[in-house]
């Protein structure tokens, strides 16, 4: 038997539910307005000689109650609050602004979501931001996960072709973590393959893991793709990816994602 609810109580309850569906998204909107979302940069090194070649921009937000929110979790929060566009523009602008101060030989890698890619004005806005910040398109790599492409491969290809036509490079991110649909490799204008951390997990112990890595690198070579190994945590892993022909590596062994000023102290 349910207890009768006083009309005023009922109204209060409904109001409360309506006004706090996603308190975190409201905090995120405030943080964006206050410019309190920090952008970090994780260095990338060339395997052959250890030279610094660039960095991946990664967004991170310290929430007072929820702790550190980053990457996909942060994007999901923004999407549920209808501010994903705002977040992605903020990230792109802040990253390009920082990278515009870097020496010419360093590249910037920026993560792009499915929503960005299919957003009608994303390409245009990105080009405008490149022009505004003075960062050359030819030094920009967009990292796209296969989840982002799954929705509509032909349309994804067309969107990426347009960006590639502007000299922007395209990397397939997290390769090896998902379904690894080989049609992506045939259809998309890719420049680089970024191997997921899970591809490296067993390479120091298992022959099978090593065989898979070797085969993927051979395939990437045949397709003229740059291979980037992500999530390198030990010197042994770094030596293996170097020996096996990965062109670039990134991971905690070298550096965690760091503030722009720390990254700038490396050059």
- Binding residues for Mn ion, per CB under 5 A? 111, 143, 173
In 3D space, the residue among 199, 203, 259, 195 whose CA is nearest the CA of residue 235 turns out to be 203
CA atoms within 13 A on the CB side of 132: 13
Q: Provide the 3-class DSSP secondary structure of residue 136.
A: coil
Q: Which two tokens stand for residue 157?
A: 């290809």
Residues within window 205-244 making contact with ligand G, judged by CB under 6 A: 230-233
Say whether residue 133 binds ligand G (CB under 6 A). Answer: no
- Residue 11: CB minimum distance to ligand G, A: 44
Say whether residue 178 binds ligand G (CB under 6 A). Answer: no
- Residue 172: CB minimum distance to ligand G, A: 11
Cβ-contact 241, 201 below 8 angstroms: no
From candidates 70, 129, 185, 219, binder to ligand G by CB under 6 A = 70
- Residue 27: CB minimum distance to ligand G, A: 20
When CB distances are held under 5 to 8 angstroms depending on the partner's kind, the choice from Mn ion, ligand G, none that residue 27 binds is: none
Residue 74 to residue 69: CA distance in whole angstroms: 6
The window from 90-98, 122-130, 133-141, 250-258 that contacts ligand G (CB under 6 A) reads: 250-258
Phi, psi of 265 (to 5 degrees): -75, -5
- Residue 252: CB minimum distance to ligand G, A: 3
Cβ-contact 148, 114 below 8 angstroms: yes
Strands 67-70, 107-112: pairing is unpaired
Binding residues for ligand G (CB under 6 A): 42, 56, 58, 70-71, 111, 143, 173-174, 197, 230-233, 251-252, 257
């Amino acid at each position: 038997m349910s207890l009768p609810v006083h009309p005023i109580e009922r109204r209060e309850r409904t109001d409360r539910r309506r006004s706090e569906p996603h308190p975190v998204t409201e905090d995120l909107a405030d943080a964006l307005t206050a410019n309190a979302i920090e952008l970090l940069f994780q260095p990338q090194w060339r395997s052959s000689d250890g030279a610094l070649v660039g960095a991946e921009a990664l967004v991170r937000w310290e929430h007072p109650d929820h702790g550190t929110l980053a990457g996909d979790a942060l994007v999901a929060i923004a999407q549920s609050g209808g501010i994903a566009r705002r977040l992605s523009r903020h990230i792109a602008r802040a990253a390009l602004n920082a990278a515009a101060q870097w020496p010419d030989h360093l590249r910037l890698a920026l993560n792009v979501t499915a929503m960005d890619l299919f957003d009608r004005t994303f390409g245009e806005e990105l080009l405008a931001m490149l022009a505004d910040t003075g960062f050359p398109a030819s030094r920009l790599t967009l990292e796209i996960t296969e989840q982002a492409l799954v929705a509509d491969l032909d349309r994804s290809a067309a969107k990426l072709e347009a960006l590639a036509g502007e000299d922007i490079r395209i990397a397939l991110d997290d390769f090896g973590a998902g379904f690894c649909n080989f049609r992506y490799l045939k259809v998309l204008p890719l420049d680089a393959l970024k191997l997921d951390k899970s591809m490296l997990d067993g390479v120091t112990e298992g022959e099978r893991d090593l065989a898979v890595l070797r085969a993927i690198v051979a395939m990437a070579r045949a397709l003229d793709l740059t291979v980037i190994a992500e999530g390198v945590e030990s010197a042994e892993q770094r030596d293996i990816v170097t020996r096996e022909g990965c062109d670039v590596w990134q991971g905690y062994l070298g550096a965690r994602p760091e503030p722009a000023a720390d990254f700038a102290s490396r050059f």
